[in-house]
Amino acid sequence: MESGLLLPDLDDVDAAPFWNGAARGELLVQACAACGRRRMPPRPMCPACRAVQSRWDTVSGRGTIWSFVVPHPPLLPTYQALAPYNVITVALDEDPRLRLVGNLVARPDGAINEVDPSTIRIGEPVRVVFQAVDDVFFPRWVRV
Amino acid sequence: MTTTIKDRTAIVGIGQTAFGKGLEDTELSLACQAIAMAIDDAGLAPSDVDGLVMFSMENGREVEVARNVGLGDVTYFGEVGYGGGAGCATVGHAAMAVAAGQCEVAVAWRARKRSAKASRPWANVNQRLSGATQWSRPFGLLRPVDEIAMLARRYMHEFGATRDHLANVALAFRAHANRNPNATMYAKRMTREDYMKARWISEPLCLFDNCLETDGALAVVIVLAERAKDLKQPPAYIHAFAQSIPRQHQVMTNYFCDDPLLGPSYACANLLWKRSDFTPRDVRVAQLYDAFSPLIPLSLEGYGFCQRGEGAAFTDDGALEWPHGRLPTNTAGGGMSEAYVHGFNLVLEGVRQMRGTSTSQVEGAECCLVTSGEGVPTSALLLRR
């Protein structure tokens, strides 16, 4: 692939709706079609009620930084060229136990190494943006 | 009828190759050498061995080990998954098989060529990601250290832990390695200043928060307690054993459950202490899985040496250091300073503590806790004299 970044397999049946949603600019989380319990990462069965039917809920795309790291070399070549960059885990506003890993960017089309890591704080509010990477749209996050 | 395996089996033989980087021998060869040494150490013959338990990640297979080492007819064999979580479990499964009469002399081992590129699963870049890794790796959370650093940062934030606490861990284990001639870092001293000046690997973790990358192999031999009494070495009895996959756990990137800092050790500890005559207060020496320094405070809490959130402060005042600390830990140097063979070297150091042959021997220790990977489905052993 052009970007050299690691990419999800869009044929993964459990995950495909998430990536399809991202391509439309929507942040989706899986929810049980029977009891409504939301779960991420997606999986075939609801651990609360054992139903296998699921639906995908659109969420606000707002959350807070739960934790973050700043990787340094040695890394895979494409990532090493960007290092040091940030990786954040975001707790979603709808339910802070729903968390997604992503990157904090300075602007919607910004790179993952543009925000000064020393300024990042746990608890900072963020909102999702989507960036095209090869044939995938990655959710990334900007400060609110 | 006996319904538990408490004290019914013992580790009676240990063997290990040299530790190094870029050893010429294959993993299979290293495994066979360590196993042969362990059988010799026990005073048994290869033809006595009829049980084998190994890591799923092992490259050499059971049949290859059996026909290289010249084993007899093997009647029990099994594997345990999840990398560093498997060490104590391979010994525990062997103990259960021996106690249940499915075999009489069992061997558990780990061989690894960490310096071989193929041994780094995260370096496989050719495939599209499906399953759990697609939620983290595309964003640059690539290596085990990145995955644990995410939990470490959160831990430091929630409980006020600092880099000084992590340095306590690294320095204690290095000091123990400096007393162990077999340790990779035997001749390399480390100061707090060295730690603080080390380069970042994944902030908040620096080089010295990471385990070594080691080639080498280790093995143990397990038999019934009655038989152990007649063998060459003082037995290290397998007093208690437990495993755990905590609820809603995700391997390494365990960020998606209700309480990610409630690690696998809590669930493992519940069964371990329930099956044991000892309590954490009775434990005076421990071998705790240390692929990364922040796993130590998590394990200290999980196994009940302190309350939740107190694991970092526990490491103050030399608590982990031989001989005067309240809990000398990783007394051969551990994964961070002796060797990183997926934590299996911790099992052998536990045995040496029970035999009285450690280079940092804790006098009067009746039992030794040995743990496997924190952050993955895990296992633990309580050995006793």
In this prediction, residues B85-102 reach a mean pLDDT of 98
Which whole number is the average pLDDT over A91-116? 97
The pLDDT of residue B120 is 61
Give the list of residues 6+ apart from residue B97 with CB closer than 8 angstroms, or none: B51, B53, B76, B78, B103, B106
By C-alpha distance, the chain A residue nearest B124 is A76
Give CA separation, B165 vs B145, B146, B176, B316, in Å: 18, 19, 17, 7
Q: Could you give the dihedral angle defined by the CA atoms of residues B205, B80, B5 and B243, in that order, rounded to the nearest 10 degrees?
A: 40
Å from B316 to nearest chain A CA?
25
Q: For residue A141, what pLDDT is reported?
A: 98
Q: Can you tell me the distance from the alpha carbon of B62 to that of B341, in angstroms, rounded to the nearest whole number?
A: 18
* Residue range B298-306: mean pLDDT, rounded: 98
Region of poorest pLDDT, from B22-26, B53-57, B150-154: B22-26
For the stretch B202-238, pLDDT in tens is: 999 999 999 999 999 999 999 999 999 999 999 999 9
Q: What pLDDT shows up at residue B114?
A: 77
CB–CB of B239/B350 below 8 Å? no
Q: Do A12 and B142 touch (CB under 8 A)?
A: no
Taking contacts as CB-CB distances below 8 angstroms, the residues of chain B near A122 are 153-154, 157
Whole-angstrom distance, CA of residue B150 vs CA of residue B104: 44
CA atoms within 13 A on the CB side of B129: 22
Q: Which residues of B touch A76 (CB under 8 A)?
A: 123, 125, 142
Bond from prior residue into A41 cis (ω within 30 degrees of 0): yes
Q: Give chain A's contact residues with B (Cβ, < 8 Å).
A: 5-12, 15, 40-41, 47, 66-72, 75-76, 79, 82, 84-85, 87, 89, 97-103, 112, 117, 122, 133, 136, 138
Q: Which pLDDT band holds residue B127 (cuts at 50, 70, 90)?
A: confident
Helices H / strands E in chain A, number of each: 2, 8
- Identify the band that residue B123 occupies on the pLDDT scale cut at 50, 70 and 90: low
- The reply to whether B85 falls in a domain is yes
Task: Write the ipTM.
Answer: 0.98
Kindly write down the DSSP assignment for every residue of B122-151, as one continuous string: GG--SSPB-GGGGGTGGGT--SHHHHHHHH
User: pLDDT value at position B115?
Assistant: 67
Computed over every residue of chain B, the mean pLDDT equals 96
Q: For residue B117, give every residue at least 6 positions away whose Cβ sits within 8 Å of its Cβ, in sequence order, or none.
A: B123
Question: Mean pLDDT over residues B259-286, rounded?
Answer: 97
The CATH number for B227's domain is: 3.40.47.10
Q: Indicate whether B88 belongs to any domain.
A: yes
d(CA B48, CA B31): 18
- What is the reported pLDDT for A132? 97
Query: Shortest Cα distance from B317 to chain A (angstroms)?
Result: 29
Least confident of A12-16, B118-122, B370-374: B118-122
More confident residue, B1 or B292: B292
Q: How confident is the model at residue B365 (pLDDT cuts 50, 70, 90)?
A: very high
Helix ranges (H only) for chain A are 16-23, 77-82
Please report the pLDDT score of residue A2 as a whole number. Answer: 83
B residues 194..233 contacting A (CB < 8 A): 199-204
Residue A57 CB: number of other CB atoms within 10 A? 14
Q: Does the pLDDT of residue B327 top 80, yes or no?
A: yes
Instruction: Please check whether residue B175 lies inside any domain of the structure.
Output: no
Q: How many CA atoms lie within 13 A of A105 on its CB side?
A: 19
Give residue-wise pLDDT tens across range B266-277: 999 999 999 999
Q: In this complex, do A82 and B132 lie within 8 Å of one another by their Cβ atoms?
A: no
Reply yes or no on whether the pLDDT at B296 is more than 90. yes
pLDDT value at position B116? 61
Lookup: tokens for B211: 């385990």
Answer yes or no: is B168 within a domain.
Answer: no
Q: Is residue A1 pLDDT above 80, yes or no?
A: no
Examine residue B286 and state whether it is found in any structural domain, yes or no: yes
User: Both tokens of residue B253?
Assistant: 């990137």
Quote the number of domains for chain B.
Answer: 1
All structural domains of chain A: 8-58 (no CATH), 60-144 (2.40.50.840)
Residue B244 has pLDDT above 90, yes or no: yes
Print the domain residue range for B268.
9-116+212-384
> Which chain B residues are within 8 Å of A116, Cβ to Cβ?
none
- Mean of pLDDT values over B258-265: 94
Q: Which residues of B are catalytic?
A: 289, 340
Domain contains B345: yes
B177 occurs within a structural domain: no
| pLDDT of amino acid B204 | 98
* Whole-number pLDDT of residue B3: 79
pLDDT at B126: 65
Answer whether residue B137 is part of any domain.
no
Q: What are the tens digits of pLDDT across the range B74-90?
A: 999 999 999 999 999 99
Share of chain B above pLDDT 70, in %: 96
